[in-house]
Amino acid sequence: MVDKLELQKALNGLTGLTRANATGHKWRNVIIEYSMDTWGVMPGDVDCDFFIDAVDNGCGVPCGMTAKEFITAMKNCINKNQLYNIENQ
């Protein structure tokens, strides 16, 4: 059971949490759209675990991800799944 002080702290942080969550969803959708426009697939379509773990908390606390890491991870997953070769893209 959570004591009253901890509960109050959590409730006080709720506004910030919901705003951050909304912002995260907005940027996640932009990245998904970029993926579809660039490769024709979403990270989940090719089981891009790095993205899923970093963005969707697929494996605990998010670890963070740079744009370069995302592009590399997507290319690796696309090639691994043999959707098509994107070595020179």
CB atoms within 10 A of CB 5: 8
Structural domain contains residue 85:
no
Domain count, the chain: 1
Torsion angles phi and psi, residue 42, rounded to 5: -95, 160
Rounded CA-CA distance 48/42 in Å is 9
Structural domain contains residue 13:
yes
Domain that holds residue 47: 4-80
Vertex 24: Cα angle to 41 and 14 (nearest 5): 150
**Model-level pTM?**
0.74
User: Using one digit for the tens of pLDDT, what is the confidence trace for 56-80?
Assistant: 877 766 678 899 999 999 999 999 8
User: Using one digit for the tens of pLDDT, what is the confidence trace for 10-26?
Assistant: 888 888 889 998 999 99
Environment class of 48 (CB within 10 Å of its CB; exposed 0-12, middle 13-18, buried 19+): buried
